[in-house]
Structure 1
Amino acid sequence: MTPFRSIEWTGDALRLLDQRQLPHQTLYAEFTTASAVATAIHDMVVRGAPAIGVAAAFGLVLAAQQSQATSVEALRADLQTAANQLKQARPTAVNLTWALKRMLQQADAVLTPSADDLRRVLAQAAQALYQEDVEINRQIGLQAQSLIPDRATIIHHCNTGALATVDYGTALGAIRIAHEQGKRLQVYLDETRPRLQGASLSAYELKAYGVPHTVMVDSASGYLMQTQTVDLCIVGCDRVAANGDVANKIGTYNLAIAAKAHQVPFYVACPLSSIDMTLASGDQIEIEQRSAEEVTHIGDRAITPAATAVFNPAFDITPAAYISALITEKGVILPPFEPQLRQLGV
């Protein structure tokens, strides 16, 4: 287990590690309403596709606890209202919608006249998602080991570790497990502008695990691959379309292009819950647009002239043609992706 927890459930509150304060302060905050959880997701107190899915699930538990409904029908209506609010907090990550859908399906399946029974079922369902996430991520990390050699030099973008999940993480979890198995690694971390998740969060995690790492600006990855031997790039994802196109943190596409140009394998670690077979391609994935201040400021300090126009998509789409493999908890999937994804019954 990690020395920190991104998400903890107290029984009547959701306790979140405020990732906006890292790496300088390790602060936790408690949230007691679904509305507050939705705000925490939107403001990136908690972030990472798996983590926000689990957080949203506990948001529904809080909605059930706060509801004054005495009938199952009325409670289900309150849950749907809360789910709609939570879903809008971050629209790109499919895990958020997936977790809420799974929770509501379990609520609909409860055949009982008691609203309190429904509340108990929801609390159990969220705890099951919490525990399931740990095992899924551990399995992704184990599946990835066939692709990570000893003495590997690796490039990683954004943060996909225990801070982005309940524990282990996806791409960074694979790096952590490789290190635990005794593989000798050197990891280069893109700083990941504009919110610097690589510099602040991934470096925080790898320091805690004792994994050798170096932070670089996002635009240095091409030069690194041009001048040094890089064995692989590995990233996470927020949504994968049926054809294997991947939505991930802005800058992922740039990294994939550079990797393709230098014949460096480019791997995407993704739980099956991040795969959206309802979308034929990445062109159909909604891309979240975030505030200008994330670009115009670093912390409280402005770095652009006043009223500068800003383009700030939170994610980009990496076409399947640039991806060497998808790493899931069920195994490594090589292109062409769609037939194999359909065989998995995602």
Structure 2
Amino acid sequence: MNENLATNANLAMYSAMAVITLSMLAYALYLAGLVPARTASRDAQRSEVLVGAEGETPSPPAATPPGALAGSDEVPLRARKAGAIAQLLAGLGALLLVASVALRGLAVHRWPLGNMYEFGTFAAMSVMVFFVAWSTRRDLRWLGLFITAPVLLLCGLTTTVWYTQASGVMPALQSYWLVIHVTIATISVSVFTLGAAVAVLSLVQARVETSGKPSLLDRLPSSKALERMAYGFHVVGFPLWTFTVIAGAIWARQAWGSYWNWDPKEVWSFIIWVVYAAYLHARATSGMRRTQATWIALAGFACIIVNYAIVNVYFVSQHSYSGL
């Protein structure tokens, strides 16, 4: 093991946490800056209603593209500056996480997914990289706070509760399946994390729309647009998780002589697959409300948290390699 590289990997992780914290605060300032614009927009809508009541036909509002911020041309300059700074800091934070993962791998001379600390770091990196790359295609400043906050929480847990010193891995993990199986598992969890964040927003937005009360969420995409966006993430994540389960069974056959051993980790991985399959089925079933299907998707993400934070730590199994 190269101790200098391992130390630099930790420094890159701490630096990423500091930068992502600043990015989260800038995203919060951006959302706060939308409040005056929201109030002005609502006053303008009231004026149009009054004009229409006097006999003139008000012009219909311009359609907002799916997933786009409503009234983005009315965003105050101060909010736009905060959003731009937040985006730059998010990109820098993603690069620092990439550096941390790369340095950790170089330090231990293996693929850096051998314990919970490395899994958490890789997952945080994947979420940030996906979000930053996605942000280059559409305006997602409104979503930044709800992505950086859970990423920062994950980084905090990995560096405190789940931290493991850089070292080698047990013989069972010295396989090319570590690269294939665990990498795809981590990527699928990252996609599900993005989907869960948007799904929560869609449920909150649906409640706000039902209440009819003014809210900051008036400037965010509609609940239907958010729900479709969350569904898109789950459509991508589910095949990846399916591959994860199948690849894990193949690796188990090579390592332990059986495709299925009723190991707690295997069981919970299958439970996650079943819950997300139920969500996709419910989402495609006529008569099922989409908000109800969204709750099933969030139940699937809750199962992921249980699988990672509880099963890995408190269940004795053939997958007990967390290093804690």
Kindly indicate which of the two structures has a greater share of residues assigned to helix: 2
Kindly indicate which of the two structures has a greater share of residues assigned to strand: 1
TM category, shorter: under 0.3
Larger Rg: 2
Q: Which has the higher contact order (CA 8 A, sep 6+)?
A: 2
Q: TM-score, normalised by structure 1?
A: 0.25
Q: TM-score, normalised by structure 2?
A: 0.26
